[in-house]
C-alpha cells in the first residue's frame, strides 16, 4: 500500500504542478475579467441573497438548501485535515495559494452554478437536476464529453470522496476511543473494535438520510452545515483572541513563505513550488471551485434567476476557504513548532493537537465529534452529486437512484478501514480530471454565464429587486435556452 500511495502522490503532484493549477488559476482570472470582478462587485448582494434564500422553493428545494448541500460538502475534512496537510508539506506559504485559488475560484464557482441553473431540467418528482454533464450536453451539445464527466463524477463522489470523508472520521474517532492496533479482534482482518463501531455508526447514520433521497439530504444539511461551521469558527476565534499578539506574526509568516525558495519555518515543509502545489491541491479539495461537483447541488434550487444561485454558490467558496480554512491555519501556526514536530503529528491529528495545546486535553473528544459531523455532512452531500449524474446517465430510472444510495452507503462504510494515504492521493487525481473537463466547458460556455449576469444587472438597474430570467428571446444570451424550464 505504501508503494501505491507513493506512485499516486507522484502522479497527483505532477498533474497539479504542470496542468491543474495553471488552468484553474487562468480560468478563474479570465472569468473574473469577463465579469469585471463579480466576486468583489457583488459580495454584498451574495450575502443578501443568502439572507432571503430559504423561501420560494414551491415544493422543491430552496436556494438555501441547495447552498447548504454544497456548503456541507465544502466544509468537511478538507478544512481540518487538508489545511494541516498543506501546512506540513507546503509550509505556511501554502495558505496564501489557497487564498489565491479561492479568490479567483469565486468567479469560477459563480459561472458553474449559473450555467447549472440555465441548463437544468425538471425531474419526474417535480424537482430539478443539472450540473456539468447537463450543460455539456445541452449547452455544448457534446454528449460524449457529458457522459465522460458524469461517469468520472459517479466514481469520484460515489466511491472516492465518500471514502476519504469516512476515513477521516475513522482515524479521528478510533484515536479518541483508544482503539490501537494492539486491540485488534481475531478473525476481523486486523480491525479493532473501535474501527468496527465507527464503521457501523457511519453505516447507520448515512443510510438513514441517503435512503430518503435528495430532499432528505437538503432538510438535514440546511441546519447542520451552518451550525457546524459556526461552532468551528467560534472555537478557533477564541484561540485567536487568546493569542492576539501572534496574529500579525502569523500573517507575515504566510506571505513571506509563499514566495520563499526554501522553507522558512522549522518543522514544516515549504519552498515556493511545494507551497504552490499543496496550496492549490488542498484548496481545490476544500472549496471545490471549478471541480464541477457543487453545480450539481446548485441546479436543484428553485430560483427566479440563475444568477441568484451563482452568487450564493460563489459566497460558499469565500466561507469555506477565506474564513474556515484560514481559521484552521491560524490555530496550527499559533500553536508553534512544539505541536508541528510532536510525535504522532500528521494531517489527521495536527489540528486537534493544536486546539488541545491551546485549550486543554478536554477538547480532543469534542473535536473528534466535530470532525465526524464535518465528514458525515460531506458524505451525504457527495451522494447528491452522485445521484444527479446517475440521473443524467440513465434518464432518471428509479432503480439507478436506489443503486446510487446503496453504493454511497457501502463505500462510506468501507472507507472507515482504508489506507488514508492511498485514498487522499487517489482523490487528488480524480478531482484533477474532473476539474480539467469542467473548466473546458466553462470556457466554452462563458458567454452564457456572462450574458445571464448582464441580464440580472440590467433588471436590478431598472429597480427590480428580484430579477426574472427569460430563456427565450433574451438579448443578453447567445441563443435560446433549450427545454421549457426557462421558457
The strand pairing partners of 61, in sequence order, are: 301
Contacts of 208 (CB under 8 A, 6+ apart): none
Report yes or no: 98 and 282 within 8 Å, Cβ to Cβ: yes
Nearest to 295 by CA among 83, 428, 467, 136: 136
For residue 366, give the C-alpha cell: 469534542
Whichever domain contains 133, its CATH number is 1.20.1740
pLDDT for 266 equals 47
| Residue 405 falls inside a structural domain | yes
Alpha carbon distance 166, 314 (integer Å): 27
Alpha carbon distance 63, 127 (integer Å): 12
Alpha carbon distance 436, 423 (integer Å): 20
For residue 283, give the C-alpha cell: 484548496
SS3 128: strand
| Residue 469 falls inside a structural domain | no
| Residue 473 falls inside a structural domain | no
The strand pairing partners of 129, in sequence order, are: 121
SS3 61: strand
Report yes or no: 12 and 427 within 8 Å, Cβ to Cβ: no
| Residue 150 falls inside a structural domain | yes
pTM of the model: 0.84
pLDDT for 422 equals 63
Rounded to 5 degrees, φ, ψ at 186 are -65, 140
Q: Which domain holds residue 54?
A: 1-462
Report yes or no: 71 and 320 within 8 Å, Cβ to Cβ: yes
| Domain count of the fold of the chain | 1
Tens digit of pLDDT per residue, the chain (487 long)?
A: 567 667 777 777 777 777 887 888 899 999 999 999 999 999 888 888 776 655 555 556 777 777 777 777 676 666 777 777 777 777 788 888 888 888 888 999 999 999 999 999 988 777 788 999 999 999 999 999 999 999 888 888 887 778 777 777 776 666 666 555 545 554 445 566 767 777 788 888 888 888 888 778 878 877 777 787 778 778 878 887 888 777 788 888 788 777 766 554 544 555 666 677 767 766 666 667 788 888 988 888 888 899 999 998 898 888 888 888 888 888 888 887 777 666 656 776 778 778 887 787 787 777 777 777 877 888 888 888 888 888 888 887 888 888 888 888 888 887 777 665 666 666 677 778 888 899 999 999 999 999 999 999 999 998 887 889 998 999 999 999 998 888 7
| Residue 483 falls inside a structural domain | no
Alpha carbon distance 308, 298 (integer Å): 10
Where is 122: in which H helix or E strand?
strand 121-122
Report yes or no: 81 and 235 within 8 Å, Cβ to Cβ: no
Report yes or no: 116 and 131 within 8 Å, Cβ to Cβ: yes
Report yes or no: 384 and 128 within 8 Å, Cβ to Cβ: no
CB count in 10 Å sphere of residue 196? 16
Alpha carbon distance 398, 285 (integer Å): 31
Alpha carbon distance 159, 167 (integer Å): 12
The strand pairing partners of 192, in sequence order, are: 184
Contacts of 180 (CB under 8 A, 6+ apart): 192
Alpha carbon distance 312, 106 (integer Å): 10
| Residue 472 falls inside a structural domain | no
Q: What is the per-residue pLDDT across 240-268, written as a single tens digit (0 to 9) for each?
A: 788 877 778 888 878 877 776 655 454 45
| Residue 474 falls inside a structural domain | no
pLDDT for 366 equals 78
Amino acid at each position: 500500500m505504501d508503494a501505491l500511495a507513493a506512485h499516486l502522490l507522484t502522479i497527483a503532484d505532477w498533474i497539479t504542478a504542470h496542468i491543474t493549477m495553471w488552468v484553474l488559476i487562468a480560468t478563474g482570472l479570465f472569468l473574473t475579467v469577463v465579469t469585471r470582478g463579480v466576486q468583489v462587485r457583488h459580495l454584498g448582494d451574495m450575502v443578501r441573497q443568502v439572507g432571503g434564500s430559504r423561501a420560494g422553493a414551491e415544493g422543491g428545494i430552496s436556494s438555501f438548501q441547495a447552498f447548504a448541500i454544497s456548503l456541507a460538502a465544502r466544509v468537511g475534512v478538507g478544512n481540518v485535515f487538508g489545511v494541516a496537510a498543506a501546512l506540513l508539506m507546503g509550509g505556511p506559504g501554502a495558505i496564501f495559494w489557497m487564498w489565491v485559488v479561492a479568490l479567483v475560484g469565486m468567479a469560477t464557482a459563480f459561472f458553474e452554478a449559473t450555467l447549472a441553473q440555465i441548463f437544468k431540467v425538471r425531474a419526474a418528482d417535480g424537482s430539478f437536476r443539472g450540473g456539468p454533464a447537463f450543460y455539456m450536453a445541452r449547452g455544448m451539445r457534446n454528449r460524449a464529453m457529458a457522459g465522460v464527466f458524469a461517469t468520472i463524477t459517479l466514481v469520484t463522489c460515489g466511491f472516492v470522496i465518500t471514502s476519504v470523508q469516512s476515513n477521516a472520521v475513522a482515524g479521528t474517532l478510533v484515536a479518541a476511543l483508544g482503539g490501537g492496533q494492539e486491540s485488534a479482534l481475531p478473525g476481523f482482518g486486523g480491525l479493532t473494535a473501535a474501527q468496527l463501531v465507527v464503521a457501523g455508526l457511519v453505516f447507520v447514520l448515512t443510510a438513514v438520510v441517503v435512503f430518503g433521497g435528495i430532499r432528505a439530504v437538503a432538510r438535514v444539511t440546511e441546519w447542520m452545515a451552518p451550525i457546524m461551521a459556526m461552532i468551528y469558527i467560534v472555537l478557533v476565534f477564541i484561540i485567536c483572541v487568546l493569542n492576539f499578539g501572534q496574529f500579525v506574526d502569523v500573517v507575515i509568516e504566510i506571505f513571506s513563505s509563499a514566495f520563499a525558495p526554501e522553507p522558512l519555518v522549522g518543522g514544516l515543509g515549504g519552498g515556493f513550488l511545494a507551497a504552490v502545489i499543496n496550496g492549490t491541491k488542498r484548496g481545490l479539495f476544500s472549496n471545490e471551485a471549478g471541480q464541477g461537483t457543487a453545480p450539481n447541488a446548485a441546479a436543484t434550487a428553485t430560483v427566479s434567476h440563475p444568477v441568484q444561485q451563482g452568487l450564493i454558490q460563489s459566497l460558499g467558496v469565500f466561507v469555506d476557504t477565506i474564513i474556515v480554512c484560514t481559521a484552521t491555519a491560524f490555530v496550527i501556526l499559533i500553536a508553534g513548532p512544539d505541536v508541528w514536530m510532536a510525535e504522532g503529528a500528521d494531517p489527521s491529528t495536527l489540528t486537534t493537537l493544536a486546539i488541545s495545546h491551546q485549550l486543554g486535553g478536554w477538547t480532543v473528544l469534542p473535536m473528534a465529534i466535530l470532525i465526524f459531523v464535518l465528514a458525515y455532512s460531506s458524505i451525504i452531500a457527495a451522494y447528491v452529486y452522485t445521484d444527479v449524474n446517475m440521473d443524467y446517465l440513465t434518464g432518471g430510472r428509479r432503480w439507478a437512484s436506489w443503486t446510487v444510495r446503496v453504493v454511497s452507503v457501502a463505500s462510506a462504510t468501507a472507507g472507515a478501514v482504508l489506507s488514508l494515504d492511498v485514498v487522499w492521493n487517489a482523490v487528488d487525481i480524480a478531482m484533477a480530471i474532473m476539474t480539467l473537463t469542467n473548466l473546458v466547458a466553462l470556457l466554452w460556455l462563458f458567454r452564457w454565464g456572462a450574458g445571464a449576469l448582464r441580464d440580472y444587472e440590467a433588471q436590478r438597474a431598472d429597480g427590480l429587486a428580484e430579477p426574472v430570467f427569460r430563456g427565450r428571446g433574451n438579448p443578453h444570451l447567445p441563443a435560446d435556452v433549450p427545454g421549457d424550464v426557462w421558457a
